[in-house]
Amino acid sequence: MANNVNRVALIGTGFVGSSYAFALLNQGVTEELVLIDLNKEKSEGDAMDLNHGLAFAPSSTKIWYGSYDDCKTADLVVLCAGANQKPGETRLDLVAKNLKIFKAIVTDVMESGFDGIFIVATNPVDILSYAVWKYSGLPQSRVIGSGTILDTARFRYLIGEHFKVDTRNVHAYIIGEHGDTELPVWSHADIGGLPILDSITNEKEKLDEIFVNVRDAAYHIINRKGATYYGIAMGLVRLTKAILQNENSILTVSCYLAGEYGEDDVYIGVPAIVNRNGVHKVIELRLNEQEKKQFAHSASVLKETMDPFFKG
């Protein structure tokens, strides 16, 4: 990160990648943005289109279609490439095909001399984050998955809708796998410091309904429009900003556990302090017994899916 100008290298300019680039430009988060994709014409077109909006952007950003060589001086490489989740597929169904793609990408990035931070957005994000760490040889703190950052945002939104409170005043987390085994941490959910469990003690069915709608949100969106991209793009920009501006913000990202929550050698979504150096510290919430069991189950599903590829 010796470069005085913040550079983000985006690999993969599909729905998520291009939405991320658009949101990044709109918020003026970085000075340089390089787009990298096998589909050269698509990425060149995106770069042209984005540059034409610079007159309306909050700050100047240099945007161009580039190559892996441009990763050498990048502060962040954001991975949005890979196969998309199709209707009826789970995120874990994508493991084999995306591991192959990612090994080639990460090898090319590291050969450029890259020494920054990876952000992984492609699914299954927890397993691919572990893969990027293994393939890159970088410290665990400098490989970060988007984890449950979007699930947590969805959770806060639906709670806010129920209580008619601004989403930004809802404090709650979804942790675990970004997928079917994720879990809500109701024991630490509050609005303005007031525990939600104290507010809706007689509405367990409503709590369950809110969580199910969070967990299954991607399936509903995919069935309607083919893919999810706006929400995750905004989440990725939030993570990018936290890193580049050295915020020490707490975000629910996929990061490496080395004993936290009783788990080891796994990337999984948990609250963590994020700054210019990557993951500074994992925040270990005091889960209740049910939450502990759910989290352990989520981690075990990830390990069982991942182990044949890394420990076989």
Catalytic residues: 178
Q: Return d(Cα 231, Cα 252) in angstroms, integer.
A: 15
Residue from 205, 206, 186, 204 nearest 196 by CA: 186
What single string gives the DSSP state of each residue in the chain? ---SS-EEEEE--SHHHHHHHHHHHHHT--SEEEEE-S-HHHHHHHHHHHHTTGGGSSS--EEEE--GGGGTT-SEEEE--SPPPPTT--GGGGHHHHHHHHHHHHHHHHHTT--SEEEE-SSSHHHHHHHHHHHH---GGGEEE-TTHHHHHHHHHHHHHHHT--GGGEE--EEB-SSTT-EE-GGG-EETTEEHHHH-TT-HHHHHHHHHHHHTHHHHHHHHHS---HHHHHHHHHHHHHHHTT--EEEEEEEEEESGGG-EEEEEEEEEEEETTEEEEE------HHHHHHHHHHHHHHHHHHHHHH--
For residue 104, what are its two tokens? Answer: 């080639």
- CA-nearest of 164, 143, 171, 28 to 79 is 143
